[in-house]
Amino acid sequence: MHRSGKQGRAIRLLAIGLIIGLAAYWAGSRWGPPAPSVVKALHSPAPTPSEAGLDPTELENVRIYRQAAPAVANVVTRTVEYDFFFNPVPVEGAGSGFLIDNDGHILTNYHVVQGAQTIEVTLGDQSRYKGKLVGSDPNNDIALIQIDLAGRKVTPLPLGDSRNLLVGQRVLAIGNPFGFQSTLTTGVVSSLGRTVQTRENTFIDEAIQTDASINQGNSGGPLLNSHGEVIGINSAIYAPTGTTAGIGFAIPINTAKRVAEDLITRGRVRHATLGAEGRALWPRLAEALNLAVQQGILIERVEPGGPAAKAGIRGGTKSVVAGMQELRVGGDVLIAIDGKQITNQSDLSLLLNRSQPGDTVTVTIVRDGKKMNLPVKLGGD
């Protein structure tokens, strides 16, 4: 009798426990899913044997690379040049790029595709496509090409924001240096706001400097932050020996986004224009012309009906020969825009590159020895 009583109590306790468990399960099903931490614990894959010994930063690098590499492109271009005997010689070039949308648009450097007659794109999964040049902006060394994905699903890279970067933050570069496809290098943002002259009339404005290894073939590839977002386009290196010296430069992604939007929607990039031509002064020329300033841009010609003409800026009125050059003199001398000193054409090009068509700027000129400030509404080509 005593034994059967214990058995009865055990059965009752078991039944009560079963009822409570079913009620909790029913309540959870009715009122919502388990807490996110529980879901994460249930669904996060266990580290593979090769990942088990990695620290959090290494695991993050692996994750970012796996997510980004399929959308990073190896861009191969082919042109035909002619040798001394006028025989056609095929020339091949290579660089990198990255997919930015599901329409197959790929950002890269202008110098990667400059003069290309054919463009071949290989994505990270080794799928190959014929590339078409949508347009380019040589001033900023940016080009946009497009491939036909033919319905394939490739996740484009998310574009970040290059405005609030900090020196010291970690960055990752993916590209194809020397033809070695899908190569990852890491480093930090070494400096910000550099102006890097790439050619006579081209430069990288507000360049991101990094010590992540960038070599030939990395050009056009993405520079990523620790969230896997693109913050720049790798474009140039400082290489006194021909290989990386730990100083690379990237075009800010905000500049690239603006250029890409113009190319996709307009088919060309609009640049702010002043509507005036001139040449930089140097002290001896300024002295010979009896000018009140020794630095600035001597305005030689003003476009009729252009922004400068509408603002009242004057061009040269007569021609003189200085050395081996013919100059138009008698016009205004441009010395500043919005308070920023202008001493040469690069200064002017840089400032216009940072402006948009339709912006109003204050142009400081010297006329007959007197300074004048004139508001100018910039045009756009």
pLDDT digits (tens, 9 = 90+) for 337-356: 999 999 988 889 888 888 88
Query: 124 with 70: CB under 8 angstroms?
Result: yes
- Percent of the chain residues past pLDDT 70, beyond the cut: 82
Indicate the CATH number of 272-380 among 3.40.430.10, 3.40.50.2300, 2.30.40.10, 2.30.42.10: 2.30.42.10
Whose CA is closest to 184, among 67, 63, 56, 69? 69
Quickly count: other Cβ atoms within 10 Å of residue 112's Cβ: 25
Active-site positions read 111, 141, 219
User: Over the chain, what is the mean pLDDT?
Assistant: 84
Instruction: Name the residue with higher pLDDT: 381 or 316.
Output: 316
Tell me which DSSP letter residue 220 carries: T
pLDDT digits (tens, 9 = 90+) for 67-116: 999 999 999 999 877 777 777 777 888 999 999 999 999 999 999 999 89
- Residues forming beta bridges with residue 321, ordered by sequence position: 326
Q: What's the whole-model pTM score?
A: 0.74
Is residue 219 classed exposed, middle or buried when 0-12, 13-18 and 19+ CB atoms within 10 A define those classes? buried
pLDDT digits (tens, 9 = 90+) for 281-295: 988 888 888 888 999
- The whole-number average pLDDT for the span 265-273 is 90
**Residue extents of the structural domains in the chain:** 54-269, 272-380
Is residue 375 classed exposed, middle or buried when 0-12, 13-18 and 19+ CB atoms within 10 A define those classes? exposed
- d(Cα 38, Cα 43) in Å, to the nearest integer? 9
Query: 256 with 107: CB under 8 angstroms?
Result: yes
Whose CA is closest to 217, among 246, 177, 250? 177
Highest-pLDDT range among 13-17, 83-87, 174-178, 241-245: 174-178
Handedness of CA 61, 66, 67, 68 (dihedral sign): positive
241 has a pLDDT exceeding 60: no
Q: What is the DSSP string of 35-77?
A: PHHHHHHHHSPPPPTTTTT--HHHHHHHHHHHHHGGGEEEEEE
54-269 is a CATH 2.40.10.120 domain: yes
